[in-house]
Amino acid sequence: MNQHIKNNVYWVGHIDTELRQFHGSDYSTHKGSTYNSYLIKEEKNVLIDTVWRPFSDEFVKNLAQEIDLNKIDAIVANHGEVDHSGALVQLMELIPDCPIYCTAKGVDSLKGQYHKDWNFKVVKTGDTLDVGNGKSLVFVEMTMLHWPDSMACYLTGDNILFSNDAFGQHYATSGLFNDLADQCVLDYEAMKYYANILTPFNPFLKKKLAEVLALNLTIDIIATSHGVIWRDNPLQIVEKYAAWCDDYQENQITVVYDTMWEGTRKLADSIAAGIVEADKDVTVKVYNISKTDKNDVITEIFKSKMVVVGSPTVGNDILGSVAGFLHFMRSLKMKNKKAASFGCFGWTGEAPKKIADYLKESGYNVVDEPLRIKWNPDLDEIAQAVEMGKRLAKA
């Protein structure tokens, strides 16, 4: 099944409604995903990207319904990651001489993964591929968005930007276009995708957005490689990226913790109550990290101006669930966020200070002394947590 995109451009990808985990189990996909592949049928026939390897057979059979495979003049591999290149293996067995246009690092990636000496054509920013009928594909390297090999291409005449991972979302919709999607889900999934995948590359993104905007391209459609295709006001997602890559924050504070015997949980709730008492305008969200999806919590932290992290002390250290989450937070390199820490303990109580140190090393601005409460908090100690919340609201 194809879907018509515009003029002689068709979607020939795969809608994966069953997907619930991506990148192994590192990214939750509550709404599934799509692997978007596109077929341009002008004087030349060009395929842009393929799909994830488990769907190779369906993909190649479907593609053969759309076009005599031997009439595909070129394949563009915008990105080597397997969710877009996986079906190349099966396809190239049928058309082994078909040229594959990609970046130099794309060759490295594809050769490294599939060990095939395909007919690679290396391109860089500004190179073009004439597709006939007065149209051409213009290549734009998208280095570090989100891999070193990433690339986008722009179809002149139809004004379609094939952006690959950039501007995508893990969101399976049958309608495929942004105006046909549930707007709340779309907004959330686009931000979650940015927060969990693209945040570490904010400085690259800022530069690349300026570079692309300086080209003054008319963009009628942004055809991503995951999720919806932006055809209704496509620049809305570019504007969102411009805001998100600029150390984004809203008026929100997120409290994240784990607890063993409810003490640290009581502190989390009391700190949240103190924040709310001191500032009626701030949004406060509280999550037990061992009971909440980590990618959803990261999305909340991405929106926050402050994160407050709590853990009991176990083996003189931070509880594993919280330590793992702190590691994930650090890898995302978020900037311009304040932080604080807390936790109950029975004997030694190192965790709150260790959390504060870790947050500082990760680039967070720790604004309060770690709150350490021995055993289960009594009413005075609950009041201390509330007071801490009030201070944090004013910090």
Instruction: Please give the residue ranges that form the binding site for ligand FEO (CB under 6 A).
Output: 79, 81, 83-84, 146-147, 165, 225-226
Is 327 in the active site?
no
Residue in 193, 194, 248, 358 annotated catalytic: 193
| CB of 191 or CB of 395, closer to ligand FEO | 191
Whole-angstrom distance, CA of residue 146 vs CA of residue 164 = 10
Q: Which helix (H) or strand (E) covers residue 342, if one does?
A: strand 338-345
Whole-angstrom distance, CA of residue 370 vs CA of residue 214 = 47
DSSP string for residues in 155-220: ETTTTEEEEETTT--S---SS-BGGGS-HHHHHHHHHHHIIIIIGGGHHHHHHHHHHHHHTT---S
| CB of 166 or CB of 388, closer to ligand FEO | 166
CB of 147 to ligand FEO, least distance (A): 6
Is 14 in the active site?
no
| CB of 79 or CB of 354, closer to ligand FEO | 79
Q: Which residue is nearest to ligand FEO (CB)?
A: 81
Is 226 in the active site?
yes
Residue in 14, 84, 170, 226 annotated catalytic: 226
Is 108 in the active site?
no
| CB of 151 or CB of 319, closer to ligand FEO | 151
Residue in 16, 42, 49, 81 annotated catalytic: 81
Whole-angstrom distance, CA of residue 21 vs CA of residue 31 = 10
Is 241 in the active site?
no
CB of 236 to ligand FEO, least distance (A): 21
> What's the CA angle centered on 137, arms 133 and 141, to 5 degrees?
175
Residue in 16, 42, 165, 258 annotated catalytic: 165
Is 115 in the active site?
no
CB of 149 to ligand FEO, least distance (A): 9
CB of 215 to ligand FEO, least distance (A): 23
Which residues fall within 8 angstroms of residue 205, CB to CB, at 6 or more apart? 145, 198, 241, 245
Give the three-class secondary structure for 303: helix
Q: How far does Cα 392 stand from its chain's mean position?
A: 29
CB of 225 to ligand FEO, least distance (A): 6
Is 79 in the active site?
yes
- Long-range CB pairs of 238-244 (<8 Å, 24+ gap) are 238/167, 238/209, 238/213, 240/190, 240/191, 240/194, 241/166, 241/167, 241/194, 241/205, 241/209, 242/209, 244/191, 244/194, 244/195, 244/198, 244/199, 244/202, 244/302
Whole-angstrom distance, CA of residue 252 vs CA of residue 86 = 40
CB of 77 to ligand FEO, least distance (A): 12
| CB of 51 or CB of 307, closer to ligand FEO | 51
Is 165 in the active site?
yes
| CB of 195 or CB of 284, closer to ligand FEO | 195
Active site residues: 23, 79, 81, 83, 146, 165, 193, 226
